[in-house]
Amino acid sequence: MLTVVAFIVALGLLIAVHEYGHYRVAVACGVKVLRFSVGFGKTVYRWQPKGSPTEFVIGAFPLGGYVKMLDEREGPVDAAERHLAFNNKPLRMRAAVVAAGPAANLLLAIFLYSLVNWIGVQEPKAVLASPVAGSVAETAGLRGGETVRKAGFVDEDLHEVHSFEDLRWLLTRGALDGRNVRLEVATSANSAAREVMLPLSNVDASQADARLFRKVGILGPWTQPLIGETVAGSAAEKSGLRQGDVVLALGDTPVVDGLQLREAIRASVQDGKPLSKPWRIDRAGQVQVIMVTPEVRQEAGAAVGRIGAYVGAPPGMVSVSYGPIEGLRNGVVRTWEVSMLTLRMMGKMVTGESSLKNLSGPLTIADYAGKSASLGLTQYLVFLALISVSLGVLNLLPLPVLDGGHLMYYLWEGVTGKSVSDTWMERLQRGGVALLLVMMSIALFNDVTRLFG
């Protein structure tokens, strides 16, 4: 239920803001707006303010919306109202009305990111977990437990890292853009810092998924290798593990953190059979050795080890917040960075440098809406900001059925002095609809594969 509600609220808000951008600028330009609709299909609710020419409507299906303006191309217009028709407005006004929708989404994203910065959010500390074996991070010399103090791209100055989320965002941009990243790390508060370079330009980033971060090698923040609640009858209980045990070593291999322990448990299978190992644990200050035999489970066609217990303590957290000016500035910067990253990813998909599997549709959006809402208000606001940026950028693409396509028509009109002919308009519209349907089909297929595959 939370997923459904969070999804409907997200779509309703983002679509309403987008259409309100069109509506507000149209009214400011003297265009008569006949209808403002959020959603399609059967009308659920409608109202018309006294003295207003605009009918406001909520449709049954919240997967879009529209602003219907007085326009001679869509029907006869009374001579007394021709000056109110959209098609009779100057080119600059028509372009402004069309661009206002995507602009409203980008402004909403800036506000939401800024709001999160002002409210403050609890985020994991920028302390690194053990890197994945053979990954870029391990090859660069990271071992786990290092605190990242500063980070940046190799051709830029280093900036303070406030939390693990700051670092994750930098690594994401670096991997997808093929830019190397420098980290200033220290093993303790009093130790001298050293610099580490991660050559992310060598990473295959054709798919922005979990496998990409496994290649980078930094999957999460450091956590204590603690055994949490155990399942009755599980391998953990049968082996004698108890909640609160701190794992010091598996066989002769010291355990640094919870991530390393989880990876080791997963890998404790050979030829489809579990591998028993002596675990050295700290139980209430007493060091003990326990022989642990995991259970074998099948995941995505591969045999992995499981012990039936929560592994790893929650990461250390830090409160991150900013003042009014800095919070707003960071909101603008984050919106710009996400917009540019979105455009670059779309460009790479067009050129074949990036996989079409990166396209996501309504099922994935709904899934993330529910998950982010369950984590709290600030996480949901960040999700809304991200989708708002995506909606704004998508609508600016030069596809005939989108706002960007109409702006493309106006650019042609501004350069040549004449509008696109009706014949070409119809051809381009049909092509745009076909391309959009293909994109939506791919996104929906990816959703089903990702969520149910």
| Domains, the chain, with CATH or none | 90-120+323-453 (no CATH), 136-216 (2.30.42.10), 227-304 (2.30.42.10)
Catalytic residue among 19, 123, 146, 184: 19
Question: What's the confidence (pLDDT) of residue 194?
Answer: 92
Question: What's the confidence (pLDDT) of residue 360?
Answer: 65
DSSP annotation of 307: -
Banded model confidence at residue 53, pLDDT cuts 50, 70, 90: very high
pLDDT higher than threshold 90 for residue 26: yes
Residues 282 and 243: their CA atoms lie apart, in Å, by 11
For residue 21 the two structure tokens come to 């951008």
The whole-model pTM stands at 0.83
The predicted-structure confidence for 376-399, as pLDDT tens digits, reads as follows 788 899 989 989 998 999 889 888
Banded model confidence at residue 148, pLDDT cuts 50, 70, 90: very high
User: Stretch 105-122: mean pLDDT, rounded?
Assistant: 94
Question: What's the confidence (pLDDT) of residue 40?
Answer: 82
Amino acid in the structure at residue 434: A
**What is the 3 state secondary structure string of 220-264?**
CECCCCEEEEECCCCHHHHHCCCCCCEEEEECCEECCCHHHHHHH
pLDDT higher than threshold 90 for residue 323: yes
pLDDT higher than threshold 80 for residue 371: no
User: Stretch 274-297: mean pLDDT, rounded?
Assistant: 92
Smallest Cα–Cα separation from 108: which of 333, 337, 335, 380? 335
First to last CA, the chain: 22
67 by DSSP, 3-state: which? Answer: strand
DSSP annotation of 155: T
User: Stretch 410-424: mean pLDDT, rounded?
Assistant: 83
Range with the lowest mean pLDDT among 67-76, 183-192, 433-442? 433-442
Question: What's the confidence (pLDDT) of residue 180?
Answer: 93
Question: What's the confidence (pLDDT) of residue 450?
Answer: 62
Average of per-residue pLDDT values in the chain: 86
Residue 263 catalytic? no
Residues 6 and 246: their CA atoms lie apart, in Å, by 38
User: Stretch 169-181: mean pLDDT, rounded?
Assistant: 88
For residue 196 the two structure tokens come to 């580490």
